[in-house]
């Protein structure tokens, strides 16, 4: 076996590396094989032809000569008898005939002497020559007696000497003839056998040539087809998405070149496929997994316990940063937050505070998600503290120092053991996030209470219609003060609801839902009447004070709203500039074109317009420039702790500058401390509103404040 294997490998080593050479060699060998077969078939035929020629020219002629010898010998006897009996006058012709015959006999004997090539025949010929000599003597003696006229003696001599000699000659020549005939017959037999053999040889060599050609063709075909088949199967493997299995060398140059090209192609396709997957599942800005990766992970890890907790982290003030410091600064801020958050999660997982392999993803804008496993909420609170600590330091980008504020919404599966689907956790965390934002806290957990509250709001809204009619609503006023003179410039009207069974309901709880259902227009109308009634009452003593009423998106969608405002102003005899309307940025963005048109009409009436909660919405500066507003109210989230946050100060300063650039009065909302007030004043803010100045007031407290103004 090893020897066989050795010889096979030797064969393979000797085999040409190129298909072209292999085919040339195969077909070349085939041609040589055919030539050999042809030679094997034709060479014996040539030999046989030569033998036949020799037979025809040599042997047959010799036979004819021997036959002629017998005939001449017979003929000379008759000629002698005719000579004896012929009259003297005719003897000359008879002599000539006998002489001629004798000459012929001698000629044949002489030609045969060098041409017999057979000792037995040569012996017979020698005896014939001897009897020819006896005949010659006897013939001369007989002729002498004829010439002497003794015909009797001549006849005796003929019978006693000449005829016996002739007879012996005839016997010997017949012996020669017989033997030549036998020889010819033998040769004919030999020739027949030889032709048979030639036929067989030709058939055999043709058969061998056919078998050898078939083997050669099979080997050549196999040597081409096998590597091609390997290529084909390799291509199929690649098509099935297996880019790791390489196309192996087949020892055939052309096929190996295609194989190498296939390998290169598989590598390139695999690279591109990985890139496509990366683009599909990775956030381009931060390099974190994106929403798709979070909701439909490409490869769910089997060895990691499923995550039961989710935190939604929303970068604060991103919009304002984008607007005032540019989008690249906003991007840097997101990247920085992503980096720090990812780092906190990794360290927490490493420390065992949370489960292994937490997923940190970017959902959109400045919203990040942490999806992880936590033993209890206490651990998550520790994680939150770490996140908080990691974002204390301001980010330096584009020459600015920007603070990293954020709000968190947490959701978990409740009992700590079961696993909730990630999209449910995400929705719950969003609810928690909104709760945190509404209650102006930095983070909140999603709870059953929130869920119940969400559902109960739906009932609440249906009670609202009744609330308007049954005077359950109250208008509270929060004073606004000039930061230049310190004097009151007006107040903002804030709705309060005293529900008969639920007690006090915060506007943050019912306003968003009232907006969704459209009942908010009832509230707006009620608040407008109350505000105008109050302005009417203030008129004699404080005609310079204004009241701002919050207007919702729904009001802006109502084509008759401006007309209603106008009629109310007229019926209450209040000059339009004492009424302000506050519109939130997001409210404007719902239907920008229609909103702008309506604002133009309101401005035409003479009512002052304010952009509320500025910095939290998504309006662009270019768009704000088109609005006929006269006041910009910077959202409370920018004011909180502004004295301690250098980055936020810069941001607020930029906002104030921008507002002034557009000829707007800039008001800061939610000032709670002296320090915040001082910073805002230093930054050039015009008006302040907040608990530091005054809480929203109602009833007697409001009356007392008003009296104190005198
Ligand atoms: P807003 O228009 O930005 O009103 C200011 C909110 O900030 C008020 O909350 C006010 O009580 C609160 N605030 C003022 N100063 C401070 C402060 O120094 N610290 C803190 N923490 N908060 C301060 P409120 O009354 O709960 O109203 C919340 C929101 O509900 C309002 O935000 C407004 O968007 C909406 N809203 C209130 N009343 C009405 C209304 O009559 N109609 C409509 N459509 N929305 C209203
Ligand atoms: Mg407001
Ligand atoms: Mg506001």
Q: Which CATH class is domain 459-708?
A: alpha beta
- Apex 302 CA angle, 297 and 308, nearest 5: 70
Render pLDDT for 612-634 as a digit per residue (tens, 0 to 9): 988 876 556 667 778 899 999 99
DSSP 8-state code for residue 413: -
Is residue 317 within 8 A of residue 407, CB to CB? The reply is no
**Ligand in closest contact with the CA of 613:** 3
Residue 423 has pLDDT above 80, yes or no: yes
Query: Residue of the nearest CA to atom 29 in ligand 1?
Result: 508
Least confident of 43-57, 72-86, 317-331, 415-429: 415-429
**Ligand in closest contact with the CA of 610:** 2
Contacts of 619 (CB under 8 A, 6+ apart): 585, 588, 589
Contacts of 534 (CB under 8 A, 6+ apart): 475, 477, 547
Return the pLDDT at 384.
96
Mean pLDDT calculated for residue range 645-667: 93
Is residue 446 within 8 A of residue 431, CB to CB? The reply is yes
Query: Residue of the nearest CA to atom 19 in ligand 1?
Result: 670
CATH number, span 291-446: 3.30.70.270
On the CB side of 135, how many CA atoms lie within 13 Å of its CA?
25
Distance from Cα 594 to the centre of ligand 1, integer Å: 25
Whole-prediction pTM: 0.49
Return the pLDDT at 306.
73
Q: Which atom of ligand 1 is nearest to the CA of 551?
A: 44
Q: Where are the domains of the chain?
A: 14-229, 291-446, 459-708
Please count the helices (runs of H) and the strands (runs of E) in the chain.
Answer: 25, 16
CA dist., res. 611 & res. 630, Å (int): 8
CA dist., res. 569 & res. 529, Å (int): 9
Long-range contacts of 246-251 (CB under 8 A, 24+ apart): 250/226, 251/12, 251/15, 251/17, 251/227
Please give the C-alpha separations between residue 82 and each of 77, 86, 98, 103, 170, in angstroms, as whole numbers. Answer: 9, 6, 10, 18, 19
SS3 299: coil
Please give the C-alpha separations between residue 411 and each of 310, 351, 376, 378, 611, in angstroms, as whole numbers. Answer: 5, 22, 12, 13, 33
- Kindly state the percentage of the chain with pLDDT values over 70: 94
- For tokens 């004070």, name the residue: 545
Q: How confident is the model at residue 333 (pLDDT cuts 50, 70, 90)?
A: very high
Q: How confident is the model at residue 361 (pLDDT cuts 50, 70, 90)?
A: very high
Contacts of 209 (CB under 8 A, 6+ apart): 33, 34, 36, 37
Query: Residue of the nearest CA to atom 33 in ligand 1?
Result: 550
Q: How confident is the model at residue 246 (pLDDT cuts 50, 70, 90)?
A: confident
- Give ligand 1 pocket residues (Cβ under 6 A): 440, 478, 494-495, 506-508, 511, 520, 523-524, 527, 550, 552, 582, 612-613, 636, 669-672, 689-691, 696
Most confident residue range from 10-24, 249-263, 658-672 = 658-672
- Kindly state the percentage of the chain with pLDDT values over 90: 40
**Ligand in closest contact with the CA of 522:** 1
Which of 438, 457, 467, 494 maximizes ligand 1 atoms within 8 Å of its Cβ, making it the mutation to test the pocket?
A: 494
**Ligand in closest contact with the CA of 693:** 1
Within this chain, domains 14-229 and 459-708 share the same CATH topology: no
Distance from Cα 632 to the centre of ligand 2, integer Å: 11
Which of 507, 509, 530, 676 maximizes ligand 1 atoms within 8 Å of its Cβ, making it the mutation to test the pocket?
A: 507
Render pLDDT for 202-238 as a digit per residue (tens, 0 to 9): 888 888 888 988 888 898 888 888 888 888 888 888 8
Q: Which atom of ligand 1 is nearest to the CA of 549?
A: 41
Most confident residue range from 105-109, 232-236, 685-689 = 685-689
Q: Which atom of ligand 1 is nearest to the CA of 476?
A: 25
Mean pLDDT calculated for residue range 50-68: 84
Distance from Cα 492 to the centre of ligand 3, integer Å: 10
Query: Residue of the nearest CA to atom 21 in ligand 1?
Result: 670
Distance from Cα 392 to the centre of ligand 2, integer Å: 30
Q: Which CATH class is domain 14-229?
A: mainly alpha
On the CB side of 528, how many CA atoms lie within 13 Å of its CA?
25
Return the pLDDT at 353.
93
Closest alpha carbon to 411 in 427, 385, 429: 429
Render pLDDT for 557-571 as a digit per residue (tens, 0 to 9): 888 999 999 999 999
Query: Residue of the nearest CA to atom 16 in ligand 1?
Result: 670
Distance from Cα 196 to the centre of ligand 2, integer Å: 125
- Helix, strand, coil abundance in the chain, percent, nearest 5: 65, 15, 20
CA dist., res. 366 & res. 405, Å (int): 11
């Amino acid at each position: 076996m090893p020897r066989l294997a050795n010889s096979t490998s030797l064969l393979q080593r000797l085999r040409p590396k190129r298909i072209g050479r292999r085919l040339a060699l195969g077909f070349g060998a085939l041609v040589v094989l055919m030539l050999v077969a042809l030679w094997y078939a034709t060479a014996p035929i040539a030999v046989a032809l030569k033998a036949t020629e020799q037979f025809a020219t040599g042997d047959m002629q010799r036979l004819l000569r021997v036959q002629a010898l017998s005939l001449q010998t017979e003929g000379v006897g008759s000629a002698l008898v005719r000579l004896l009996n012929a009259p003297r006058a005719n003897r000359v012709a008879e002599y000539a005939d006998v002489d001629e015959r004798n000459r012929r006999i001698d000629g044949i004997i002489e030609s045969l002497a060098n041409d017999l090539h057979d000792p037995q025949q040569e012996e017979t010929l020698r005896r014939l020559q001897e009897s020819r000599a006896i005949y010659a003597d006897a013939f001369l003696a007989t002729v002498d007696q004829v010439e002497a006229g003794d015909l009797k003696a001549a006849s005796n001599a003929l019978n006693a000497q000449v005829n016996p000699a002739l007879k012996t000659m005839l016997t010997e020549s017949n012996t020669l003839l017989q033997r030549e005939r036998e020889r010819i017959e033998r040769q004919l037999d030999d020739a027949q056998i030889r032709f048979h053999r030639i036929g067989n040889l030709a058939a055999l060599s043709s058969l061998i040539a056919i078998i050898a050609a078939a083997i050669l063709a099979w080997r050549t075909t196999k040597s081409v087809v096998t590597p091609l088949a390997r290529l084909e199967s390799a291509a199929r493997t690649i098509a099935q998405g297996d880019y790791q299995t390489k196309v192996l060398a087949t020892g055939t140059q052309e096929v190996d070149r295609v194989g190498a090209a296939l390998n290169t192609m598989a590598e390139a396709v695999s690279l591109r496929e990985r890139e496509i997957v990366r683009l599909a599942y990775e956030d381009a800005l931060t390099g974190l997994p994106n929403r798709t990766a979070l909701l439909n992970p490409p490869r769910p890890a089997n060895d990691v316990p499923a995550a039961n907790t989710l935190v939604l982290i929303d970068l604060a003030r991103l919009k304002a940063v984008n607007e005032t410091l540019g989008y690249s600064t906003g991007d840097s801020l997101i990247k920085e937050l992503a980096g720090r958050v990812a780092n906190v999660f990794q360290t927490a997982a490493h420390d065992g505070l949370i489960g292994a392999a937490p997923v940190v993803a970017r959902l959109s804008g400045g919203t990040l998600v942490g999806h992880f496993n936590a033993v209890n909420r206490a651990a998550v609170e520790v994680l939150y503290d770490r996140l908080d600590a990691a974002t204390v330091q301001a980010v330096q980008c584009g020459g600015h120092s920007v603070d990293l504020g954020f709000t968190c919404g947490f959701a978990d599966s409740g009992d700590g053991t079961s696993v909730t689907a990630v999209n449910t956790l995400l929705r719950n965390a969003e609810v928690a996030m909104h709760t945190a934002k509404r209650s102006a806290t930095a983070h909140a957990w999603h709870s059953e209470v929130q869920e119940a509250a969400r559902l109960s709001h739906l009932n609440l809204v249906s009670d609202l219609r009744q609330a308007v009619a049954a005077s359950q609503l109250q208008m509270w006023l929060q004073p606004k003060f000039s930061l230049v003179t310190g004097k009151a410039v007006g107040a903002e009207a804030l709705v309060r609801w005293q529900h008969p069974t639920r007690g006090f309901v915060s506007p943050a709880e019912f306003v968003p839902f009232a907006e969704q259902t459209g009942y908010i227009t009832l509230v707006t109308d009620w608040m407008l009447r109350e505000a105008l009634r109050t302005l009417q009452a203030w008129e004699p003593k404080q005609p310079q004070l204004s009241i701002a009423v919050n207007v919702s998106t729904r009001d802006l969608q109502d084509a008759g709203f401006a007309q209603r405002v106008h009629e109310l102003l007229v019926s209450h005899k209040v000059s339009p500039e004492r009424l302000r309307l506050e519109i939130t940025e997001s409210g404007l963005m719902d239907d920008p074109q229609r909103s702008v048109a309506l604002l133009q009409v309101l401005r035409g009436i003479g009512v002052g317009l304010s952009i509320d909660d500025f910095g939290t919405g998504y309006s662009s500066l270019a768009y704000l420039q088109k609005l006929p507003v006269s006041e910009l109210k910077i959202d409370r989230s920018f004011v909180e702790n502004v004295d301690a946050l250098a980055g936020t100060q810069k941001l607020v300063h930029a906002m104030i500058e921008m507002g002034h650039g557009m000829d707007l009065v800039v008001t800061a909302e939610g000032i709670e401390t002296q320090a915040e007030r001082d910073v805002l004043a230093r930054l050039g803010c015009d008006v302040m509103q907040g608990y530091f100045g005054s809480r929203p007031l109602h009833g007697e407290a409001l009356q007392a404040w008003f009296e104190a103004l005198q």
